[in-house]
Amino acid sequence: MGYVGAPGAVCWRAKPVISVRIDAGEETIPLEEFERRVREGRIAPSTPVRLPVLTGDRWVDARELELFQRLYAPVRIHFTRAFTLGRFPFVTTALCLLQVVLFFGIAGSARIIALDPLIDAGAKMHPNILELGETWRLLTANVLHRDRMHLLFNMFFLFNVGGTIENAYRLRDYLLILLASAVGTTVFSTLMSSLPSVGASGMVLGLFGSASVFGYKYSEILPSRYRRYFGGAVLPYALFILYVGLATRDTDNWGHLGGLLAGVLVTIPLDPKLLHLGRPSTFSARYASVVASVAIVAAVIALGPVVRAVGPSYRVFEEEESGIRFSYPARWSFGENHLGYAAAGNALGVSIGVRAERRTTHPIRVESVRRRFLEDELARREKSGDIAAVSIVAERPFLIDGGEAVELDIAVDSRAGPQLTRNVLIARGHYSYALVLSAPRAWAEAYAPIFDEIMANAELTEPRSLVKAMRKVETFPGMSSAHVELADQLAAIGRTDAARRAYERALEALPTHKEALYGLAKLTADYGGDLDQGEQIASQMWRSQPEEAAYAVLVAELRKRMGRVEGACAALQETLDRAVDPPEDLRERLRKLACRRGGRE
């Protein structure tokens, strides 16, 4: 009751009431109570009613009132009266049995399944999906489990909450919820985590999300005995599973979150099966869920060829010190390979490793790089037990600008199992490189296109020392020592013409520059050219300082290449006699030349 009207006047405004004739007699009730009874179906359309403000003293059927027409919903009333969770969930039971059969079919009597059998069976593996296009794993990973406790935990919750949703929705809608939750789990996990994963827990979280949506949308018409379950019990269960996941180190929490979100989103537009009763049977109402389910499966399957055609995204790695650049799949992480090289790789054990070195004395031939790789690195690792059963499968030339290279296909048994490796060995001036692409034998063929892409983009670049020398020349173009430094770095990567021009530029500024003269002569000794001119330059420098071992070695090298072995011996012997503390290298060179003491030219 309340006061209304002008100041000084008092009047009463009564709450509206309505009279209803029932079996027990006539009853007058507030209009709000009448509305509640209509919603609950406690007042039939034929019930006589009298609402003075509309009907006066006349009794009419309730169906004639616009208020009744607006509130009366027989389908919702039937839902309230007929809704039950008591029907046995045959589909959910079949799904649980399928997962039990799969687990024991793979595990046998073992309590835990190793990773490799799970991968073979269809576990979610980031590289398999995003690099090899095995998108079918987005479906299969949801029905595999790693151990008995994992299986038991998931089956308990799947049977309980899955049975609830199976009772609440039509079969076609329930299958859509299951499918969307499963794919949402593995898609989210694949995008956010590179770790392998299996299990139905993401699908279970999706069903919990679906139950939460159901409880929120239909709490007003649910029977009172189910309101507590959908309103207050479902969410704590879901939070409990999320908490267990966060507290457990090996749990795929991204997958849990993806399943939960997918279950919520796909359920929002769906109606329970009891609310479909009496509705017009349109194509959309009958087949929308079926079409959506087929579309999800088709998209998952069709995505595979697309992923394989597009390939993974790549990240560039550049070893700036020695000057080599290549690309590798962007989601690979760095570690070491079976040879101890710094390597980028994935969870399958596929990797690319690189080793780069620089000699200071003379250029390297690709034959030397090959011999050292096979006889030193591989043999040493084999002797230590890191690898075994080394076998060269194939050998072929490899083309790369700026260097000479050979590619070896080598099969090895490593601590990680049988591997098939592609080894590209490169020689460039004083630098040598080894690029080692390795894959478990089971995945070698699948990764061949990715390896081809990696090697097609491999290139030799300018080492950091060369870049530094070039900048120095740009800053001090008239400094002869800057040009000598540039020439030395150009010679180190085998760019002989550019190195010769840089030495000559230094000599233009300072004709007696010893480092420039020595560099020119050594360039000839290392890479060939006018041997007579090179020998004259080297001999002139040696004669001015006959005790200088570096000059004697250069003269000997040039004379040896000219066929003047006795002259080479004479230069080495004279410096050995003159030097106060001669390096052992001089005696070693004399022994290799089989020089006779006292030889003169």
Compute the distance between CA of residue 536 and CA of residue 531 in angstroms, rounded to an integer. 8
Joined tokens for residue 313: 């995204």
Classify domain 315-460 at the CATH superfamily level: Mog1/PsbP, alpha/beta/alpha sandwich (3.40.1000.10)
Does the structure show a pLDDT above 90 at 440?
yes
Highest average pLDDT, of 33-47, 241-255, 345-359, 585-599, comes from: 345-359
Which residues are CB-contacts of 9 (< 8 A; sequence separation ≥ 6)? none
So what's the pLDDT on residue 15? 73
Does the structure show a pLDDT above 60 at 569?
yes
Mean pLDDT of 560-575: 89
Domain residue ranges of the chain, discontinuous segments joined by +: 15-72, 90-308, 315-460, 464-593
Per-residue pLDDT band for 80 (boundaries 50, 70, 90) equals: low
Q: Residue for token digits 């151990």?
A: 147
Per-residue pLDDT band for 9 (boundaries 50, 70, 90) equals: very low
Q: DSSP letters of 580-594?
A: SS--HHHHHHHHHHT
Joined tokens for residue 419: 């591997």
List the alpha helices (DSSP H) in 229-378: 234-247, 253-267, 283-310, 366-372
Residue type at 506 in one-letter notation: A
Q: How does pLDDT run across 418-427, given as a tens digit for each residue? A: 999 999 999 9
Which residues are CB-contacts of 461 (< 8 A; sequence separation ≥ 6)? 318, 320, 323, 324, 325
Mean pLDDT of the chain: 87
Does the structure show a pLDDT above 70 at 1?
no
* CATH class held by domain 90-308: mainly alpha
So what's the pLDDT on residue 234? 67
Percentage of the chain beyond pLDDT 90 is 57
So what's the pLDDT on residue 361? 79
> In what side-by-side order are the strands of the sheet with 25-30?
25-30, 17-22, 48-50, 60-61
Task: Give me the architecture of the 464-593 domain, per CATH.
Answer: Alpha Horseshoe (1.25)
Q: Residue for token digits 């799970």?
A: 118
So what's the pLDDT on residue 379? 87
Q: How does pLDDT run across 311-355, given as a tens digit for each residue? A: 899 999 999 999 999 999 999 998 988 888 999 999 999 999 999
On the question of a common fold for 90-308 and 464-593, the answer reads: no
So what's the pLDDT on residue 406? 97
